[in-house]
Structure 1
């Protein structure tokens, strides 16, 4: 895995906003899985949109972090990382684990692009109250 992407996962786990700003390119573009809770699915342009509007919003509802397990770099430079998000929904106290695949691109040693795929059903199950 690229050292930059490794640092990004560490910053996400540690909720280190200063490092996230330093690691993301100013023109960052993120694509979050449709159906994600908290209304964060879809395209997000710029560091603030991703850090505050996605990761910050999710952190308000989940105590969660991504844990990468495999990494490959494609011939065009895209970094493909698979792993699991693990955490707890704050409102219900329910633990969850949701698989993910992240596609990352770098520009000038900063993360410039992300496309996230995840099992959104696991996120929603953790938020659901018992019948």
Structure 2
């Protein structure tokens, strides 16, 4: 018999990272609130705050996938705060244009409301990104 229990925000975040790293961006976008606020750090090639899944795809996901192949955001630890999940991990990839490797630690703060991701803030080693991409 299938469980009718609601999934926890931690389970949703884990599914999102797994899906993203498998190239299933649609699953990731499907967990986002239509008015999600997504922030990439200053000093990053993708810096800015974007609203909505379309803006995130255009300004973050698509450019990262254009710049890197392969690319993965590899979670190493989850801190479950209920409606706020903090994910600690490492971005790993290879820059398409140069073959340069990237390995940059990150902390992602994921805020949920009613099982939907409403806010995401990326804290990462922007110097490592700049060194790898050359920007």
TM-score (norm 1): 0.88
After TM superposition, the structure 1 = structure 2 runs for residues 85-100 of structure 1, keeping only pairs within 5 Å, are 85-100=91-106
Q: Are the aligned partners of 1:92 and 1:128 in contact in 2 as well (CA < 8 Å)? A: no
Compare CA radii of gyration and give the structure with the larger one: 2
Which stretches in structure 2 are left out of the alignment for 5+ residues? 1-8
- Using the TM superposition, give the Cα deviation of residue 60 of structure 1 relative to its aligned residue in structure 2, in angstroms: 0.5
Aligned residue pairs total 126
* Residue aligning to 2:76: 69
- Match for residue 121 of structure 1? 127
Moved over 6 A (4+): none
Q: Over the residues paired in the alignment, what is the CA RMSD in angstroms?
A: 1.7
SS of the residue aligned with 1:60?
A: helix
Q: After superposition, what is the alpha-carbon deviation per residue over 1:84-124, rounded to whole angstroms, capped at 9, x for unaligned?
A: 00001111101110000000011221211101100011111
Q: Which blocks of at least 5 consecutive residues in structure 1 are unaligned? A: none
